Structure 1
Amino acid sequence: MSPQDLTNAIISGVNAGGEQFLEGTLAAVLPIFWLAILGLHLGRPYILDMIDRFTLRLGADLLWLIYAALRDLLIVSGVVMSFMFFFPDVITTDALPLTGGLAAAALFGVLLVKLMGDPDNDLRDFRLTTILLGIGALLYFIPYVFGVQFNSVATGPLAGVSKFLVTNTNPGWAVNLAYVSVVLLAIMGAIATYYTLKTGGRAEAPDATTAE
């Protein structure tokens, strides 16, 4: 082996190891993001109660601004960090939750509802975002806990179930679910693009006759 071949092999190994380390870290951090998102979303009544206790309007506005910005920023970050579930080469190489891509699609659905509706003031939109967050959390936590984390200690029939829930030990299902997630994301992205181009990103004002 020539020095150049040895150098290329070392560089390739370092790059591959760094990539797997990054993807594994993202998969481990995502549960924290999911818990934080769920906590902030379900903690909305507590925030509203705290706002009512403020005697200074500026303090109440700042608290709500920080709460809403942190909550939505975590949702956007969760979607961005979940993009690794849409690449077949990644999910067939790393041990990732099998339905992580579907969880990311549910999280993107929350962003779509926030774009087209107002979950903070509309009860129907709030319930819809709550359902989407609940479904997305289940789709991520079930395969992560009972698959990725349980895989090394599972025995007997449970070992087969655990391997089924991990992407690199169930590549057939993993790739198919990745394609389904990409299609769902593309459909919702097209809807969001159409809505933004049509309304400029602002909610359409109701007609005067309808209001009357």
Structure 2
Amino acid sequence: MSVDQLTQAIVTGINAGAEQFLEGTLAAVLPVIWIAILGLHLGRPYILDMIDRFTLRLGADLLWLIYVALRDLLIVSGVVMSFMFFFPDVVTADALPLTGGLAAAALFGVLLVKLMGDPDHNLRDFRLVTILLLIGAVFYFVPYVLVVQYYSVAQGGPFASISNFLVTNQNPNWAVGVAYVSVALLAIMGAIATIYALRTGGRAEVSEAEAPATNI
């Protein structure tokens, strides 16, 4: 083996190892992101109760600002970190949840609802966001906790067939299909968001005075 070939092999190995490390880290961090998102969303009544206890308006405004910024930042981070589910070469090489891409699409749907509506003041939008988050959490946690982790520690056994089906690198055909479906959903929602933003400039089409009284 020549020096150039050896150098190329070393570089290729380092790149492959770094890629595997990054993808594994993202897959391990995403459950924490999902738990934090669900906790902040479902804990909204507690935050509102805390705000009502503030005697200083500035303190209440700061608490609400921090809460909203952290919640929405985690949602955006979850979508960005889930982009690995949209690449067929990644899902066929790594042991990832089969429906992780659909979970990412549901999370992107939450951002779309926030763009086109107001979940913090409109009960219908709040319920829609809650449903999307619950669907996304099911799509991610069921394959990850009950299947991917099971496959990594207990191969074989009565749940082996289910585990093999819901792990991407053990079921590449379905994994690629789900990835393409997720990309299509993301593209459709992205197109809707783009059209809406271009048409309205990101502002609500109905003024607050005309909005229905469905505050929560």
Band of TM-score, shorter chain = over 0.9
AA of the residue aligned to 2:121 = N
Q: In structure 2, what is the equivalent of residue 131 of structure 1? A: 131
Using the alignment, how far apart are the partners of 1:100 and 1:207 within structure 2?
37
1:208/1:168 CA distance change after superposition, 3 Å: closer
AA of the residue aligned to 1:148 = V
Q: In structure 1, what is the equivalent of residue 206 of structure 2? A: 205
1:207/1:98 CA distance change after superposition, 3 Å: closer
Counterparts of residues 162-177 of structure 1 (less than 5 Å): 162-177=163-178
Q: In structure 1, what is the equivalent of residue 41 of structure 2? A: 41
How many residues of Structure 1 are paired with residues of Structure 2 in the alignment?
A: 211
Once the two structures are TM-superposed, the CA of residue 155 in structure 1 deviates from its matched residue by 2.8
In terms of mean alpha carbon deviation, does 74-83 or 151-160 score higher?
Answer: 151-160
Once the two structures are TM-superposed, the CA of residue 156 in structure 1 deviates from its matched residue by 2.5
In terms of mean alpha carbon deviation, does 3-12 or 202-211 score higher?
Answer: 202-211
Using the alignment, how far apart are the partners of 2:68 and 2:78 within structure 1?
15
Using the alignment, how far apart are the partners of 2:54 and 2:174 within structure 1?
52
Tell me the secondary structure at the aligned position of residue 97 of structure 1. Answer: coil
Once the two structures are TM-superposed, the CA of residue 173 in structure 1 deviates from its matched residue by 0.4
Tell me the secondary structure at the aligned position of residue 98 of structure 1. Answer: coil
Using the alignment, how far apart are the partners of 2:28 and 2:162 within structure 1?
20
Q: In structure 1, what is the equivalent of residue 146 of structure 2? A: 146
1:51/1:207 CA distance change after superposition, 3 Å: closer
In terms of mean alpha carbon deviation, does 143-152 or 72-81 score higher?
Answer: 143-152
Q: In structure 1, what is the equivalent of residue 197 of structure 2? A: 196
Using the alignment, how far apart are the partners of 2:129 and 2:167 within structure 1?
27
TM-score, normalized by length of structure 1?
0.96
Counterparts of residues 1-212 of structure 1 (less than 5 Å): 1-151=1-151, 152-206=153-207
Tell me the secondary structure at the aligned position of residue 93 of structure 2. Answer: coil
Using the alignment, how far apart are the partners of 1:58 and 1:22 within structure 2?
41
- Percent identical among aligned pairs is 78
AA of the residue aligned to 1:120 = D
Q: 8 Å contact 1:79–1:108 — kept in the other structure?
A: yes
Once the two structures are TM-superposed, the CA of residue 99 in structure 1 deviates from its matched residue by 0.3
TM-score, normalized by length of structure 2?
0.95
Structure 2: gaps of 5 or more residues: none
Q: 8 Å contact 1:146–1:165 — kept in the other structure?
A: no
Using the alignment, how far apart are the partners of 1:191 and 1:7 within structure 2?
47
Q: 8 Å contact 1:102–1:177 — kept in the other structure?
A: yes
AA of the residue aligned to 2:61 = D
Q: 8 Å contact 1:92–1:168 — kept in the other structure?
A: yes
